[in-house]
Structure 1
């Protein structure tokens, strides 16, 4: 179940969808008709995301976590009971008596307890803020929530509030009682003692010969130097528990995201190296490169190049390799007055995370372009774009720039020079802009 709550604006937007039965700040109830449609479309091979978008749901509003949990639940129900399993029978089968109306004093007590719990959660988030990366979402674990609930109950002397506070915190009541049982506490103490011994051994290998190591190097060092054999999963668990981090060769977060979400989609190589189409705007190429400047500073440049004329149609510079680097370049292409839409126009790239991302692919469709991708690990499929980056790095004075503003000015100056004044032998000894005008006249 997703922890995402809906705003009043989002609730109003979702309630207008004909396939929504009811919606609150915490969840959606879909119609039985939509569930049947989903199963039917899903069996044809459509992805859950595609089905939801096709029937008017904004994924950014409802969230992929909620989409996945709903689709898994419906598939399981359909597999076990067929179409009957998709029916919402809660109102029919509910045998509980209607809860009595709370007194004003009880309502106030509940509200105070909820406010105090939220305050405690905010305090905890402040404490753990520096233990995580800036771009990573802060998440409170169930064990931390159980501790907060207990501290709130003891501090404010609240009685019969466990069920209510567990519901507010999004944890189970049985889990709360189990966490503080004598058996569980004793088991955790014993586990902590064992983990302390494991931690000391792992740190020996981690610090061996001064060089920092990752989990696999620690495992082999423990076995080779200290004759200690630990499972790789155990080593990773202890490293995570005690914050032992290898500072080098960290896993690529974008690649991990791709595997986890399965939203990223590779498209075929539709361009097939047919770079010279003879029509400006027919075949566009895009890519990202890094630029080193100043005192070991790094920036990233994203460009869109017209392969028929070699003209740079749009570019964007950033000091961070974010998703916006690719999407902002596309938006700049749309604003370019010299860009003309051509029927059947392609935009070609490699299989990088930025170009397989749903947001980029959605924007490509919105601009009326057909997407094409190079074969995996084949730079020749995007040769003109790679060639441009090579000439650009050789000719522009990038290393002499001391800050991002200077770099921006240098790149802007070079792009103007490249498009308007740099003559190219293969363009009939014309500049890209001259060659574009030449093609338009002869068309």
Structure 2
């Protein structure tokens, strides 16, 4: 008797409209192929989304041109500022022989680009590299130190100035450059590289309401042995020159992957429901997941609780006023604000949306090394566990 053929049908991933919109914004910035690679999508998916979007609304060409022009002007100003700084420090060697100018360049390679220095000091790049190759200045020990400084600077810049010495050491090792943590820390001190510091926790939601509150099932146990056992959710606020933008997230404690998120101008029950729906779609509608949050009115609302019950999820809530009961979500918000928001200017909510989307879907989920995962990104950790 012939065996029945196995079904080859696979379940297609579903993406919310908000996810598609932000994916298209990223594609417009870095290109479809690059965006598809960063987000783990097929380029054809993004092309399809873009075709549908063009049928409904204008993509705002004028705003994109303005953003491109602003970026060009910023680059131009940065180049001019660098040239002025080189002139200020290197005026004493401008009339000296080329070897003196090469020595100045070698001394300031971590501070200024070689391209800018050869232009300002009127020397050739090939002549400088030939001079370096002859070993005129550096001993082997100094060369080794310079190499570490260069690699540390590259990794630090690639992490958008977010990594301290422990994480930078792991990132260097992953690139095949093994260094002691103290050595890396010394290199960072030598170059004045300091990771962005976190700020104190500040409550967002309010628990002053008469709605029913769920018991605390999590009890500060943030460990999970498999995906879709425990999720945590929370809301934070992000300031732009147009006003507040509110962000709700859902995080899987197994890998610290942000499985659901939503953004809105208002902090309503719809916001947290949209984030939870994205998590359900992304994880293919799991059952029995503990979904933990604070006891804010949005999470106690009828709409949110109905969504919990409809999908057989287990609702859990923190003790009143205890931010430590939801520490993982707070840690994520701290990282987001410190590494992408603080010190930056956001003229519109659109610019903030694009920044948050890129941080979640590209930086945090796919690139950022999490100590809870043994210094693997959430997606790399889950892929390793299922391999």
Range class of TM-score, shorter chain = 0.3 to 0.5
Q: TM-score, normalised by structure 1?
A: 0.39
Q: TM-score, normalised by structure 2?
A: 0.44
